[in-house]
Amino acid sequence: MSRVFTLDGLDAAADLLRAGGVLAYPTEAVYGLGCDPHDQAAFAKIFALKQRPATQGVLLIAADFAQVERYIDFERVPEAVLAQVRASWPGPHTWIFPRSAAVPDWVAGAHAGIALRVTAHEPVVALCRAFGGALVSTSANPHGEPPARSAATVQDYFGEVLDGVLDAPLGTQASPTTIRDALSGAIIRA
């Protein structure tokens, strides 16, 4: 069984992430798998757990805009677009931006952009604040299986292979967040 953290143990969970660990945590609708986006070895663990090709890329989730702004290529984003996105945050809205050089190639996979979300879900906000930055966020499930909606399901899926689980409430969303292209407004995932 992987290490289980509660909201009272966020500092220890953040330490696990800083040490290269992979942590499952509750998001707005499902459990996500997360790690330090700049730790390629931790990132590789996520794709091994999910049994998914790394070319698919992942999104980054954060507590506030300051945690994601370095990942955006602002030269390619009109001010009106940025204002529209910022008006939707914090909240269950994921936007794809032109990515800056700060985005590790492994995070974006085969994609030219980077998907970002500033969440309002308090357990994730607290986790990102304890960690001190944005985290990788991808659904906590082996490829082809339904996303986990409980810490118990996460444990069933991954057992001791997963470094840790934050056992806290899910948000109230019925399904994972919509992903939109920030520049065109096109829906990538409904």
pLDDT digits (tens, 9 = 90+) for 48-106: 999 988 788 899 999 999 999 999 999 999 999 999 999 999 999 999 999 999 999 99
Is residue 19 very low, low, confident or very high in pLDDT (cuts 50, 70, 90)?
A: very high
Kindly tell me if the per-residue pLDDT of 130 is higher than 80: yes
Exposed (0-12), middle (13-18) or buried (19+): which is 38, by Cβ within 10 Å?
middle
Burial per residue of 85-97, b for 16 or more beta-carbon CB atoms within 10 angstroms, e otherwise? beeebbebbbbbb
Please count the other Cβ atoms lying within 10 Å of the Cβ belonging to residue 17. 26
Domains of the chain (ranges, CATH numbers): 3-189 (3.90.870.10)
Distance (Å, whole) CA 40 – CA 42: 5
The two structure tokens encoding residue 182: 């920030």
Q: What is the mean pLDDT of the chain?
A: 95
Query: Which of 118, 136, 140 shows the shortest CA–CA distance to 32?
Result: 140
The DSSP H or E segment spanning 180 is strand 178-181
Kindly tell me if the per-residue pLDDT of 1 is higher than 70: no
Q: What would the mean pLDDT of 1-5 be, rounded to a whole number? A: 87
Q: What would the mean pLDDT of 129-152 be, rounded to a whole number? A: 96
Q: Is the overall model pTM greater than 0.75, yes or no?
A: yes
Percent of the chain with pLDDT over 90: 92
Kindly tell me if the per-residue pLDDT of 22 is higher than 90: yes
| Bridge partners, 179 (sequence order) | 94, 189
Distance (Å, whole) CA 9 – CA 90: 24
Q: What would the mean pLDDT of 136-141 be, rounded to a whole number? A: 96
